[in-house]
Amino acid sequence: MTQPPATLPPIKLLIAAPRGFCAGVDRAIIIVEKAIEKYGAPVYVRHEIVHNKYVVDNLRAKGAIFVEELDAVPDGKPVVFSAHGVPKSVPERAGERALPYLDATCPLVSKVHRQAERQVELGRHILFIGHKGHPEVIGTFGQVPEGAMTLVETVEDAEALMVIDPDKLAFLTQTTLSVDDTAAIVAVLTHRFPTIEAPRGEDICYATSNRQAAVKAIADECDAILVIGAPNSSNSLRLVEVAERAGTPARLIQRATEIDFAWLDGVRTLGLTAGASAPEILVREVVTHIGARFAITEEQVETARERIAFKLPRGLEAA
């Protein structure tokens, strides 16, 4: 790293690891890129493929067109479903219209979908821990018949919940939740309904858990933390909450230009991380931007190593 002029005030950057792209996001982006190679532009994408403007704009420049509903996709044009998952009715509708489609749903979200179907087949009502209106929640609810699942957002929801048959319950969770918040809700549910069926393994994905653990690891040493991510990115918002619960002020930014340097007055040690939809290039952009104002000492704090990769859908491997 080029040494900045000595006149600049010093700042230590603690950069959390793991951070940034997870295997599901990597896979989703590659699916769109390979679909464009295979079919030619344009390729339509239902909903943002992942919640990151930089990524979406980059794919749009390559030939992706982002739409909210299938009705906006012209007949015969290929369409990709986002990493967050979609209700069953969406691929069914695509099939009815003979639209070529590729499902970029994260395999860890698909695992939750399969568990939801299994629990309903066993006659259980599902209590789903998640955030109302999030695409992943909408997609998961769309895997089962209407009324088979109840959304639980808070501990208060869990405490007030009324159910018809307390011995025929299961719970599942959104994959991008706060680990601590979810544990508190689960504790209430298991106390109130001792026979409730838990998911097979942890529903909160490895990337969400790892990024939250990494923020916890640096929070005590930092005067402030910056989280790179989109305001509609659940896992990025949770990283801000994790930092603040540890007593460290935190801010969410999408790009380096959103940094308010007045907020860094008096900050000697600044933490930096990125949500699972934010590419590493944005981390380096932020470091460079801060380096124009401060003499940076940079240190990475690694709490886990991620080696997970997901296979692409059939038909794209050779693209």
pLDDT above 70 coverage of the chain, percent = 97
Residue limits of CATH 3.40.50.11270 in the chain: 23-103
pLDDT at 1: 46
CATH tag, 23-103 = 3.40.50.11270
Give the residue from 274, 318, 283, 277 showing the smallest Cα distance to 27. Answer: 277
Provide, rounded to the nearest whole percent, the portion of the chain with pLDDT above 90.
94
Decide: helix, strand or coil at residue 149: strand
Q: What is the pLDDT of residue 202?
A: 79
User: pLDDT digit string (tens) for 109-128?
Assistant: 999 999 999 999 999 999 99
DSSP for residue 32: H
CATH code 3.40.1010.20 for 10-21+206-302: yes
pLDDT value at residue 63: 98
CATH classification of 109-192 is 3.40.1010.20, yes or no?
Answer: yes
Sequence-ordered list of residues with C-beta below 8 angstroms from that of 2, at least 6 positions apart, any chain: none
Which residues belong to CATH 3.40.1010.20 in the chain?
Answer: 10-21+206-302, 109-192
Chain mean position to CA 67: 20
136 is catalytic: yes
Q: Is the pLDDT of residue 5 over 90?
A: no
- Catalytic option among 92, 96, 136, 258: 136
User: Is 234 exposed, middle or buried (CB count within 10 Å of its CB: 0-12, 13-18, 19+)?
Assistant: buried
Show contacts of 129-133: CB within 8 Å, 24+ apart: 129/153, 129/171, 129/172, 129/173, 129/174, 129/177, 129/182, 129/185, 129/186, 130/173, 130/174, 130/177, 131/174, 131/177, 131/234
**Inter-residue contact 172 to 128 (CB < 8 Å):** yes
- Express each pLDDT in 211-234 by its tens digit: 999 999 999 999 999 999 999 999
- CA–CA gap between residue 61 and residue 50 (Å, rounded): 16
Other Cβ atoms within 10 Å of 280 Cβ, number: 12
In this prediction, residue 317 has a pLDDT band, given cuts at 50, 70 and 90, of low
Residue 193: pLDDT over 60: yes
